[in-house]
A and B are shown apart, each in its own frame.
Chain A
Amino acid sequence: DAKTTQPPSMDCAEGRAANLPCNHSTISGNEYVYWYRQIHSQGPQYIIHGLKNNETNEMASLIITEDRKSSTLILPHATLRDTAVYYCIVLPRGTASKLTFGTGTRLQVTL
């Protein structure tokens, strides 16, 4: 599976958009980008995934560059409850047997 690189930490003011970057320059053609988050002391939570087109759901938007070497998770109006560690993971959709978490980005949303 392709390796991902994320900044260790980011801050965001409440009400503003939080843009979390992820670099996956070695991504293969059949690999999707998945995002999870883990709020303190809770189990991880799946957020969104995509292949090459931009995706949006009720939680977030995912923007993947045209060359697919990087992506950005956007929380359009961050709240204090969005403070969490966010994980970007690359997987071949439908064929992987294991999902491995890296170190992620710790997002701190402040007043």
Chain B
Amino acid sequence: NAGVTQTPKFQVLKTGQSMTLQCAQDMNHEYMSWYRQDPGMGLRLIHYSVGAGITDQGEVPNGYNVSRSTTEDFPLRLLSAAPSQTSVYFCASSPGTVPDTQYFGPGTRLTVL
């Protein structure tokens, strides 16, 4: 199993640009989530999903959209990038529909100029 994969590893955007961060898992996990971690700071939950077709907001959802059309994929869309969204983005998945024991991806390092 590849586990949780994230692409790209690094990305630089200009203010106002949009992009999609990709996340995929091959463990047939129902639960998936997105966190962001600002430099020197803690992890904050952006959005999560308990299964295909179901998504919900976390602590910091503004400026981000998600969708879950398949069990495997959970892309995160930045609608209009802002410098405040410069961060490392981690995707995770967990067996079942709960976040108890999550497997995290390697992260996407995003810089918005």
Contact = CB atoms under 8 A, between A and B. Distances in A.
Interface SS majority for chain A: loop
Contacts of A102: 42
Interface residues of B, number: 25
Contacts of B90: 43-44
B43 A101 contact: yes
Interface stretch (A9-17, A59-67, A90-98): A90-98
B45 A100 contact: yes
A97 B4 CA distance: 20
Chain A, interface residues (CB within 8 Å), range: 20 to 34
B104 A97 contact: no
Interface of B: 4, 33, 35, 42-43, 45, 48, 50, 56, 58-59, 88, 90, 92, 96, 98-107
30 contacts: A32-B100, A34-B100, A42-B104, A42-B107, A43-B90, A43-B104, A43-B105, A44-B90, A44-B92, A44-B102, A45-B104, A46-B101, A46-B103, A49-B100, A49-B101, A91-B99, A93-B98, A93-B100, A94-B98, A94-B100, A96-B98, A96-B100, A97-B48, A97-B56, A97-B98, A98-B48, A99-B33, A99-B45, A99-B100, A102-B42
Sorted nearest first, the 4 A-B pairs with minimum C-beta distance are A43-B104, A99-B99, A101-B43, A43-B90
Nearest to A43: B104
A5 B106 CA distance: 27
Interface string A78-111: 0000000000000101111111111110000000
B79 to A, nearest CB: 22
Contacts of B100: 32, 34, 49, 91, 93-94, 96, 99
